[in-house]
Amino acid sequence: MKRRAGGVLLHLTSLPSRYGAGNFGPQAYAFADFLKQAGANYWQILPLNYTTDGTGNSPYNSFSAFAGNPLLISPEMLYKNGLLRKSEMEPPSSFPEESAQFVQAMRFKSQILDIAFERFSKKGMDTAFETFKLDHQSWLDDFAFFVVYKKTQSQNPWSQWPVAIRERRQAALDEFRKSCHEAIEREKFIQYIFLTQYMALKHYCNKNGVLLFGDLPIYVTYDSADVWSHPNLFKLRRDKKPQFIAGVPPDYFSKTGQLWGNPVYDWYANACTGYRWWMDRLGHNLKLFDLLRIDHFRAFEAYWQVPYGQKTAIGGAWVEGPGKWFFEALFRQIPQAPLVVEDLGFITPGVRELIRMYDFPCMNVLQFAFDGDPRNTHLPHNHIRNSIAYTGTHDNMTTTGWYKDEIDAATRKRLTDYLGKKLSAQTVAWEMIRLAMASNAHLCIVPMQDILKLGSSARMNNPATSKGNWSWRMRPNALKASTARRLRHLMELYGRC
């Protein structure tokens, strides 16, 4: 982030596709072309982690911190590589265009991956696949075992598994690996295909001047391969149930706080290993992305932990995090790690000092700017250069929806006064985009929903609710040359391309 730049936030599942959710297929390449035409340098996406219906299909709530989401694998690319026939690519029914159908899409994807794996296996040993397994064995073996064994247990959480597997007794692990070798290899194959397709897309984006900007959730799900295989790194009871769970106190998004349900880290135990699991995780993600945002960064300074069993986050407490000791270890191992920090919510002087110490770029969100305080750090005239200006994030309402449905008359007046012109629901999105582009911040990121001037139905996520999130999709033919030209005009006008 040494020069001014601009980009667009659009998760891959939000791309058009005939397969129920967006993926690494032709529409992803078309979007990269759109970004190039628009003069955008960055494509920001949400985490690529394996999602499930049981966790609301949230990319921030996965049962692996490393594994990719099979939903993102492109049938077209499998066909191109000779692993599917044309007739095998056809979905069983038409999917709605405007929302992702995660369950049905995953069911179909699983069927075609069975076919692809069988065809791949018949070819005999594949050197690239064998190399992939060796390169990723630190997480891949446990993950593949976890997925396959979970199926034999009716998807019950690992805390309910037979004690020999739950406690990872070597003889029991070896016996299951031997008896289910092919099923375990299938899961490894899926991850191999995921990474191969993703890296091909990344190469195409980079070749066309578009950098991929990823997102790293700070926590992992309790029922995950990571907690099962590394229970010592988390605050668990003797029975391996969580002692505390993560969340945040009451804030802008919720009066009772947010209770996320993830186990919190035992940072002393992590420090005793040199933060090895974390270093592996960050190293893995920094190979996937050109720039990486750490979600809920403030937890490294202090985190909100709530006793297990509480119904809301109100009864939690702040606990000191690893702070600079973690980042000293990180920058010894990865000296030039290109990180951005999410510094929204309750931010203390201690968090600010940690950000300042390592000169991390932070975030400004225009929807938070118009509270009447001219010193509000989200106002464009207060943005620092080493930061990112957003109209809104994936957790915010779309700008049009925010203007129509969320803010009061006083806030609308403050926004109108700041811009010096009258606004309407039809014009507000692009006026806010212009404001973000004009910001002093080195990077400006705009959600695709704002570029398309979409209302509240296009919101990606409401942090205060657990249902109905993550499913918005861009309609086919939404990418217009006129829109790219309009965006490029602002990129050029404000020196971002």
Residues belonging to the active site: 295, 342, 395
Taking the C-alpha atoms of residue 271 and residue 327, their distance in angstroms, rounded to an integer, is 11
CB contact at 8 A, 305 and 264: yes
CA distance 159 to 157: 5
Amino acid at 425: A
Which one, of 381, 364, 373, lies nearest residue 419 by Cα?
381
Neighbours of 493 (CB within 10 A): 12
Cβ neighbours around 375 below 10 Å, total? 7
Question: Cα–Cα distance between 454 and 471 in angstroms, integer?
Answer: 15
Look at residues 36, 93, 102, 117 and name the one whose alpha carbon lies nearest to residue 72.
102
Report the relative pairing of strands 5-9 and 42-44 from DSSP bridges. Answer: parallel
- ∠ at Cα 486 (21, 290), nearest 5°? 55
| Total H helices, total E strands in the chain | 18, 12
Instruction: For residue 76, count other CB atoms closer than 10 A to its CB.
Output: 18
Give the whole-angstrom CA distance, residue 277 versus residue 233.
Answer: 9
Are β-strands 362-365 and 387-390 bridged in parallel, bridged antiparallel, or unpaired? parallel
Compute the distance between CA of residue 444 and CA of residue 3 in angstroms, rounded to an integer.
11
Q: Are the CB atoms for 392 and 366 separated by under 8 Å?
A: yes
Place of tokens 């790194």: 233
Q: Where are the alpha helices (DSSP H) in 387-427?
A: 399-401, 409-419
Strand order in the sheet with 258-263: 258-263, 244-248, 302-307, 317-320
Task: Report DSSP state, residue 236.
Answer: B
Task: Show the tokens assigned to 423.
Answer: 């606004």
Residues in the chain: 497
